[in-house]
Amino acid sequence: MVSIRRATVDDLPGMQNCNLTCLPENYQMKYYYYHLMSWPQLSFVAVNDHGRIVGYVLAKMEEEAEEPHGHITSISVLRSYRKLGIATKLLRQSHQCMIDSFGAHYVSLHVRRGNRAALALYKDTLGYKVHDVEEHYYADQEDAFAMRCPFPKQTELPVAKVTPAEPAAAPAQAHHPAAQHSSQAAAEKLRQKHLQHQQHQQQQQSASVPPSAETTAPNPSAKPGAKASTGKGAGRGKGKKKS
Protein backbone atom coordinates (compact mmCIF):
# COMPACT_ATOMS: atom_id res chain seq x y z
CA MET A 1 0.00 0.00 0.00
CA VAL A 2 1.24 3.50 -0.88
CA SER A 3 0.35 6.65 1.04
CA ILE A 4 0.70 10.29 -0.05
CA ARG A 5 1.91 12.94 2.40
CA ARG A 6 3.63 16.31 2.43
CA ALA A 7 7.41 16.16 2.05
CA THR A 8 9.76 17.05 4.92
CA VAL A 9 13.48 17.77 5.13
CA ASP A 10 14.10 14.17 6.14
CA ASP A 11 12.59 13.04 2.83
CA LEU A 12 15.08 14.93 0.65
CA PRO A 13 17.63 12.06 0.28
CA GLY A 14 14.86 9.65 -0.74
CA MET A 15 13.45 12.17 -3.23
CA GLN A 16 16.90 12.68 -4.77
CA ASN A 17 17.45 8.92 -5.01
CA CYS A 18 14.11 8.49 -6.79
CA ASN A 19 15.08 11.24 -9.21
CA LEU A 20 18.49 9.72 -9.97
CA THR A 21 16.87 6.33 -10.59
CA CYS A 22 14.19 7.52 -12.99
CA LEU A 23 15.16 10.76 -14.72
CA PRO A 24 18.14 12.13 -16.65
CA GLU A 25 17.46 15.62 -15.24
CA ASN A 26 19.10 15.63 -11.83
CA TYR A 27 19.54 18.32 -9.19
CA GLN A 28 21.89 19.07 -6.35
CA MET A 29 20.61 18.64 -2.79
CA LYS A 30 20.55 22.40 -2.17
CA TYR A 31 17.99 22.77 -4.99
CA TYR A 32 15.58 20.39 -3.25
CA TYR A 33 16.24 22.16 0.03
CA TYR A 34 15.51 25.54 -1.56
CA HIS A 35 12.10 24.35 -2.77
CA LEU A 36 11.14 22.84 0.57
CA MET A 37 12.20 25.87 2.58
CA SER A 38 10.55 28.39 0.25
CA TRP A 39 7.29 26.56 -0.53
CA PRO A 40 6.87 23.78 2.07
CA GLN A 41 3.17 23.36 1.20
CA LEU A 42 3.66 22.28 -2.40
CA SER A 43 5.94 19.20 -2.44
CA PHE A 44 4.66 15.68 -1.69
CA VAL A 45 6.04 12.14 -1.49
CA ALA A 46 4.56 8.68 -2.02
CA VAL A 47 5.70 6.18 0.64
CA ASN A 48 5.23 2.38 0.67
CA ASP A 49 4.57 0.18 3.70
CA HIS A 50 8.28 -0.03 4.52
CA GLY A 51 8.73 3.76 4.58
CA ARG A 52 10.54 3.89 1.25
CA ILE A 53 9.88 6.87 -1.00
CA VAL A 54 8.63 5.50 -4.32
CA GLY A 55 7.54 8.79 -5.88
CA TYR A 56 7.62 12.53 -5.35
CA VAL A 57 6.56 15.88 -6.80
CA LEU A 58 8.76 18.96 -6.38
CA ALA A 59 6.87 22.22 -6.96
CA LYS A 60 7.19 25.98 -6.49
CA MET A 61 5.45 29.29 -7.14
CA GLU A 62 6.55 31.68 -9.88
CA GLU A 63 7.02 34.81 -7.78
CA GLU A 64 7.80 37.35 -10.51
CA ALA A 65 4.87 36.46 -12.81
CA GLU A 66 2.09 38.95 -13.57
CA GLU A 67 -0.56 36.56 -12.30
CA PRO A 68 0.14 34.02 -9.54
CA HIS A 69 0.78 30.49 -10.77
CA GLY A 70 2.66 27.40 -9.73
CA HIS A 71 5.25 25.34 -11.54
CA ILE A 72 6.03 21.62 -11.37
CA THR A 73 9.82 21.44 -11.20
CA SER A 74 10.06 17.64 -11.15
CA ILE A 75 7.88 14.57 -10.73
CA SER A 76 8.95 10.95 -10.71
CA VAL A 77 7.62 7.52 -9.72
CA LEU A 78 9.69 4.33 -9.54
CA ARG A 79 9.06 2.03 -12.48
CA SER A 80 7.63 -0.83 -10.37
CA TYR A 81 5.00 1.55 -8.92
CA ARG A 82 3.77 3.13 -12.13
CA LYS A 83 0.25 2.81 -13.57
CA LEU A 84 -1.20 2.89 -10.05
CA GLY A 85 -2.38 6.51 -10.21
CA ILE A 86 0.42 7.70 -7.89
CA ALA A 87 1.61 10.49 -10.20
CA THR A 88 -1.97 11.75 -10.59
CA LYS A 89 -2.49 11.87 -6.83
CA LEU A 90 0.83 13.65 -6.24
CA LEU A 91 0.07 16.32 -8.84
CA ARG A 92 -3.50 16.92 -7.67
CA GLN A 93 -2.34 17.35 -4.08
CA SER A 94 0.20 19.94 -5.19
CA HIS A 95 -2.34 21.71 -7.44
CA GLN A 96 -4.83 22.07 -4.60
CA CYS A 97 -2.23 23.55 -2.27
CA MET A 98 -1.23 26.09 -4.92
CA ILE A 99 -4.84 27.24 -5.00
CA ASP A 100 -5.46 27.17 -1.25
CA SER A 101 -2.18 28.67 -0.07
CA PHE A 102 -1.28 31.09 -2.87
CA GLY A 103 -4.42 31.66 -4.93
CA ALA A 104 -2.73 30.34 -8.10
CA HIS A 105 -4.56 30.81 -11.40
CA TYR A 106 -2.80 27.96 -13.19
CA VAL A 107 0.18 25.61 -13.04
CA SER A 108 2.90 25.10 -15.64
CA LEU A 109 5.51 22.42 -16.42
CA HIS A 110 7.92 21.25 -19.12
CA VAL A 111 7.87 17.79 -20.66
CA ARG A 112 9.99 16.15 -23.32
CA ARG A 113 8.42 16.19 -26.73
CA GLY A 114 8.90 12.45 -27.10
CA ASN A 115 7.57 11.42 -23.66
CA ARG A 116 4.22 10.03 -24.78
CA ALA A 117 3.24 8.48 -21.43
CA ALA A 118 3.75 11.77 -19.60
CA LEU A 119 1.92 13.74 -22.31
CA ALA A 120 -1.09 11.40 -22.02
CA LEU A 121 -1.15 11.88 -18.23
CA TYR A 122 -0.92 15.66 -18.42
CA LYS A 123 -3.33 16.19 -21.31
CA ASP A 124 -5.94 13.46 -20.92
CA THR A 125 -6.07 12.97 -17.15
CA LEU A 126 -5.16 16.35 -15.64
CA GLY A 127 -6.26 18.81 -18.34
CA TYR A 128 -2.93 20.38 -19.29
CA LYS A 129 -2.62 22.07 -22.68
CA VAL A 130 0.46 22.88 -24.76
CA HIS A 131 1.17 26.59 -24.39
CA ASP A 132 4.49 26.80 -26.26
CA VAL A 133 7.37 24.76 -27.67
CA GLU A 134 10.85 25.50 -26.36
CA GLU A 135 13.49 24.18 -28.74
CA HIS A 136 16.61 22.46 -27.42
CA TYR A 137 15.37 22.88 -23.85
CA TYR A 138 17.07 19.79 -22.43
CA ALA A 139 20.79 19.05 -22.16
CA ASP A 140 20.59 16.49 -24.99
CA GLN A 141 18.98 19.19 -27.20
CA GLU A 142 15.49 17.64 -27.20
CA ASP A 143 12.60 20.09 -27.45
CA ALA A 144 10.17 20.64 -24.58
CA PHE A 145 6.46 21.34 -24.52
CA ALA A 146 5.64 24.17 -22.15
CA MET A 147 2.24 23.13 -20.78
CA ARG A 148 -0.32 24.83 -18.59
CA CYS A 149 -3.28 23.62 -16.58
CA PRO A 150 -5.81 26.36 -15.72
CA PHE A 151 -7.43 26.23 -12.31
CA PRO A 152 -11.14 26.90 -11.76
CA LYS A 153 -11.79 30.55 -11.03
CA GLN A 154 -12.37 31.31 -7.41
CA THR A 155 -15.93 32.53 -6.91
CA GLU A 156 -16.12 35.65 -4.84
CA LEU A 157 -18.53 35.51 -1.97
CA PRO A 158 -21.08 38.36 -1.85
CA VAL A 159 -20.21 41.02 0.67
CA ALA A 160 -22.80 41.19 3.40
CA LYS A 161 -24.27 44.61 4.10
CA VAL A 162 -23.52 45.79 7.59
CA THR A 163 -26.28 47.83 9.20
CA PRO A 164 -25.46 50.05 12.17
CA ALA A 165 -26.44 48.45 15.41
CA GLU A 166 -29.22 50.06 17.43
CA PRO A 167 -28.17 51.53 20.77
CA ALA A 168 -28.58 48.98 23.46
CA ALA A 169 -31.33 49.61 25.96
CA ALA A 170 -30.38 50.13 29.57
CA PRO A 171 -30.61 46.85 31.42
CA ALA A 172 -33.67 46.52 33.57
CA GLN A 173 -33.05 46.34 37.28
CA ALA A 174 -33.88 42.99 38.73
CA HIS A 175 -36.56 42.98 41.42
CA HIS A 176 -34.76 40.83 43.91
CA PRO A 177 -36.84 40.16 47.09
CA ALA A 178 -33.88 40.75 49.39
CA ALA A 179 -33.01 44.04 47.69
CA GLN A 180 -36.65 45.21 47.84
CA HIS A 181 -36.90 44.35 51.57
CA SER A 182 -33.67 46.22 52.29
CA SER A 183 -34.97 49.30 50.45
CA GLN A 184 -38.24 49.29 52.43
CA ALA A 185 -36.37 48.94 55.73
CA ALA A 186 -34.15 51.90 54.88
CA ALA A 187 -37.20 54.05 54.01
CA GLU A 188 -38.94 53.10 57.28
CA LYS A 189 -35.82 53.92 59.27
CA LEU A 190 -35.61 57.34 57.62
CA ARG A 191 -39.29 58.04 58.38
CA GLN A 192 -38.89 57.11 62.06
CA LYS A 193 -35.87 59.37 62.33
CA HIS A 194 -37.85 62.23 60.81
CA LEU A 195 -40.72 61.73 63.30
CA GLN A 196 -38.29 61.70 66.22
CA HIS A 197 -36.81 64.96 65.02
CA GLN A 198 -40.27 66.59 64.83
CA GLN A 199 -41.16 65.40 68.35
CA HIS A 200 -37.90 66.78 69.69
CA GLN A 201 -38.62 70.19 68.14
CA GLN A 202 -42.14 70.26 69.65
CA GLN A 203 -40.75 69.46 73.10
CA GLN A 204 -38.25 72.30 72.83
CA GLN A 205 -41.00 74.77 71.83
CA SER A 206 -43.23 73.69 74.76
CA ALA A 207 -40.40 74.13 77.25
CA SER A 208 -39.72 77.70 76.05
CA VAL A 209 -43.32 79.03 76.72
CA PRO A 210 -43.86 80.56 80.39
CA PRO A 211 -46.73 79.13 82.55
CA SER A 212 -48.58 82.53 82.80
CA ALA A 213 -49.06 82.57 79.12
CA GLU A 214 -51.22 79.48 79.29
CA THR A 215 -54.71 81.15 79.55
CA THR A 216 -58.12 80.11 78.43
CA ALA A 217 -59.61 81.85 75.52
CA PRO A 218 -62.01 84.72 76.46
CA ASN A 219 -65.74 84.05 76.29
CA PRO A 220 -67.12 86.14 73.46
CA SER A 221 -70.59 86.26 75.13
CA ALA A 222 -69.27 87.78 78.35
CA LYS A 223 -70.07 91.47 78.97
CA PRO A 224 -67.36 93.99 79.28
CA GLY A 225 -66.32 94.54 82.82
CA ALA A 226 -67.81 91.29 84.05
CA LYS A 227 -65.56 89.16 86.10
CA ALA A 228 -64.78 85.81 84.80
CA SER A 229 -65.92 82.93 86.84
CA THR A 230 -63.16 81.18 88.66
CA GLY A 231 -65.23 78.05 89.12
CA LYS A 232 -65.88 78.56 92.85
CA GLY A 233 -69.53 77.89 93.60
CA ALA A 234 -70.21 77.01 90.06
CA GLY A 235 -73.59 75.39 89.49
CA ARG A 236 -75.16 76.98 92.61
CA GLY A 237 -78.27 79.21 92.38
CA LYS A 238 -78.44 82.86 93.60
CA GLY A 239 -79.06 83.28 97.34
CA LYS A 240 -82.18 85.06 98.82
CA LYS A 241 -81.94 88.45 100.56
CA LYS A 242 -82.15 88.38 104.35
CA SER A 243 -85.03 90.30 105.80
pLDDT digits (tens, 9 = 90+) for 23-58: 998 999 999 999 999 999 999 999 999 999 999 999
CA atoms within 13 A on the CB side of 144: 15
Among the ranges 67-76, 148-157, 173-182, 199-208, which has the highest mean pLDDT value?
67-76
pLDDT at 188: 72
pLDDT digits (tens, 9 = 90+) for 203-228: 666 665 554 444 444 444 444 444 44
Q: Which of 85, 107, 87, 86 is nearest to 96 (CA)?
A: 107
SS3 state at 158: coil
pLDDT digits (tens, 9 = 90+) for 96-143: 999 999 999 999 999 999 999 999 999 999 999 999 999 999 999 999
pLDDT digits (tens, 9 = 90+) for 157-193: 444 444 455 555 555 554 555 555 555 666 677 677 6
191: exposed, middle or buried (C-beta count within 10 Å: 0-12, 13-18, 19+)?
exposed
Using 50, 70 and 90 to split pLDDT, how confident is the model at 66? confident
Phi-psi domain of 212 (left: phi exceeds 0; alpha: psi -120 through 50; beta: other): alpha
Distance CA 12, CA 144 (A): 26
Mean of all residue pLDDT scores within the chain: 79
Through-space distance between the first and last CA atoms of the chain, rounded to whole angstroms? 163
pLDDT at 32: 96
